[in-house]
Structure 1
Amino acid sequence: MGYNKLRAGIRLMFWGGASFEEESLKQGTGKFKDTSILYSPADQIMEEDLKRWLEKARRIQWDYKNIYKRKGILERLK
């Protein structure tokens, strides 16, 4: 998980977020299964969504460490 401060607001990112199967998270490009959501005013943040995503981020893990060794193939851990 990470975030970026942008002019338009704060972008919250989840590197394995494509596995979360959440419609409100925007799919990233590429092979890293990343997703993000942009919040401009703070009152847009839905606490229940955020709690659910954080729980999924703890539970769903991908093996980014060995992606080079596997020639770009990303495997799920656990």
Structure 2
Amino acid sequence: MFWSGTSFDEEDLKPGTGKFKDASKLYTNVDRINDEDLKRWVCKSKMIQWDYKNITKRKGVLLRLK
């Protein structure tokens, strides 16, 4: 699961509950893991982040961190 996964614009990542910007990919077998996808998603997770720390101060409004 990636906390900012819905912001990655990746078809294979499925959104979570909708309350946060999380998305994930479920693998049922190790052979199905695509290394290139994982590398790309980890790279995007470093670049695309949201300010969950101050979500209560902003009354549920998420702002993207730079």
Report the TM range for the smaller structure's normalisation.
over 0.9
Q: Percent identity at matched positions?
A: 68
Provide the C-alpha distance between the structure 1 equivalents of 2:27 and 2:14, rounded to a whole number of angstroms: 12
Name whichever structure is richer in helix by fraction: 2
Q: Any stretches of 5+ residues in structure 1 without a counterpart?
A: 1-12
| Alignment RMSD (CA, Å) | 0.7
May I ask how many residue pairs the two structures share in their alignment? 66
Q: Any stretches of 5+ residues in structure 2 without a counterpart?
A: none
1:67-78 matches, cutoff 5 A:
67-78=55-66
Report the TM-score when normalising by structure 2: 0.96
Q: Give every structure 1 segment of 4 or more consecutive aligned residues whose post-TM-superposition deviation is greater than 3 Å.
A: none
Q: Which residue of the partner structure matches residue 12 of structure 2?
A: 24
Shift of 1:30: 2.5
